[in-house]
């Protein structure tokens, strides 16, 4: 029989791992193969997967079920795709299909509920105890490569941003670093689809265009064009290509503008990398001082030497 120290160590490890034990954990605690077999016969441990055991009872909490699947693959394994989406808090946990990714391995898991994926390098991971899972940007990229629709990806992006779990800069960095990888174009399309605003600013656009007609010094802009920057096609409300100036007509309600301020800053930063300046006109300011807005636009356009003469 194992001594009390070995038993105490085993219980400590089991408690930190939702009662999931690898054969390596049992051996490290001081249990021989024969002792493990004896414990199994007595119902103290229960074989879950090859090399993976449960301690005390075969039933596990959902975290234990996921960890057992992770351990069953190999030590490089981590949870990904829909399973990682759940661990990131963007959907409910579903144990009927557990997604596990391994690094360059031919590992198999004899469990129909476990779907194995393979990669060549370990991506950015998050942890919950012993559980390892992909961060949100990589999770979305994996889902896009697996065929998740643009609409579903957009819903996930929207939810992640509303929960303040998605960093726009990291999202754009993911798209840039993985340019050409399967799923990148689909994820970029979903992200770009999230970015445009609804039609609430259409009235502002009509009013702005009408006012421009009374300002002959202001040249005709391009309307609602898309400009690529940082791997994303950004919609520009009004664009003056000769001056590389984008005018953003922000007709959103105040609270929406506050929620999306980071996104606006990222958009402006990415356009700046293309040498494009942004002049933002809000619905409130346009309603209070439209002539002052147009004066500002004339001044900015006049700074370009081709229009300052």
Number of helices (H), then strands (E), belonging to the chain: the values are: 15, 12
What's the confidence (pLDDT) of residue 309? 37
Sheet of 232-240: strand order equals: 222-229, 232-240, 245-250, 277-282
Cα–chain center distance at 178: 13
Taking only the tens of pLDDT, the chain with its 309 residues reads: 456 777 888 888 888 999 999 988 888 888 888 888 888 898 888 989 988 989 988 889 999 999 999 999 988 899 999 999 999 999 999 999 999 999 987 777 888 999 999 998 889 999 999 999 999 999 999 999 999 999 999 999 988 988 888 876 777 788 888 888 899 989 988 887 776 554 445 788 889 999 998 998 898 888 888 888 888 888 899 999 888 999 998 876 543 444 567 778 888 999 999 999 999 998 888 988 999 999 999 999 887 543 333
HSE, side-chain direction, 13 A CA sphere, residue 279: 20
Cα–Cα distances in angstroms (integers) from residue 32 to residues 23, 36, 102, 126, 202, in the given order:
10, 6, 29, 34, 74
Question: Which among 225, 277, 292, 284 is positioned nearest to 250, based on CA atoms?
Answer: 284
What's the confidence (pLDDT) of residue 92? 95
| Number of CB atoms found within 10 A of residue 91's CB | 15
CATH 3.40.960.10 in the chain is located at 199-308
What's the confidence (pLDDT) of residue 276? 93
pTM: 0.65
Enclosing H/E stretch for 85? helix 81-87
Task: Give the span between the Cα atoms of 19 and 53, in whole angstroms.
Answer: 8
Alpha-carbon dihedral sign for residues 146, 151, 152, 155? positive
CATH 1.10.10 in the chain is located at 4-60
Q: Look at the domain 199-308 and name its fold.
A: Endonuclease; Chain A (3.40.960)
User: How many residues belong to the chain?
Assistant: 309
| pLDDT single digits (tens) 241-281 | 888 999 998 876 543 444 567 778 888 999 999 999 999 99
For residue 285, give both structure tokens: 């300011």
Q: Look at the domain 4-60 and name its fold.
A: Arc Repressor Mutant, subunit A (1.10.10)
**Which residues are within 8 A (CB) of 149 and not within 5 positions of it... i.e. 6 or more apart?**
none
What's the confidence (pLDDT) of residue 253? 52
């Amino acid at each position: 029989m194992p001594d009390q120290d070995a038993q105490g160590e085993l219980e400590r490890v089991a408690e930190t791992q939702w009662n999931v034990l690898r054969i390596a954990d049992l051996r490290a605690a001081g249990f021989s193969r024969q002792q493990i077999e004896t414990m199994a016969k007595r119902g103290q441990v229960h074989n879950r997967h090859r090399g993976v055991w449960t301690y005390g009872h075969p039933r596990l909490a959902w975290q234990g079920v996921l960890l057992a699947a992770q351990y069953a693959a190999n030590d490089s394994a981590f949870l990904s795709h829909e399973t990682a989406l759940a661990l990131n808090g963007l959907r409910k946990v579903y144990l009927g299909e557990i997604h596990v990714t391994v690094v360059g391995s031919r590992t198999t898991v004899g469990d129909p509920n476990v779907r194995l994926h393979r990669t060549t390098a370990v991506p950015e991971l998050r942890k919950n105890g012993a559980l390892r899972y992909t961060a949100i940007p990589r999770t979305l990229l994996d889902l896009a490569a697996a065929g998740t629709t643009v609409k579903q990806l957009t819903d996930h992006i929207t939810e992640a941003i509303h929960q303040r779990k998605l960093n726009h800069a990291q999202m754009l960095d993911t798209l840039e670093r993985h340019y050409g990888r399967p799923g990148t174009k689909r994820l970029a399309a979903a992200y770009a689809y999230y970015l445009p605003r609804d039609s609430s600013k259409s009235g502002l656009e009509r009013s702005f265009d009408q006012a421009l007609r009374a300002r002959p010094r202001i040249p005709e802009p391009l309307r609602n064009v898309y400009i690529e920057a940082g791997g994303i096609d950004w919609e520009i409300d009004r664009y003056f290509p000769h001056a590389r100036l984008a005018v953003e007509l922000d007709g959103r309600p105040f609270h929406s503008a506050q929620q999306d301020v980071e996104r606006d800053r990222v958009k402006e930063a990415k356009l700046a990398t293309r040498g494009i300046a942004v002049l933002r006109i809000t619905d409130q300011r346009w309603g209070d001082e439209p002539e002052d807005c147009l004066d500002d636009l004339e001044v900015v356009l006049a700074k370009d030497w081709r229009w300052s003469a």
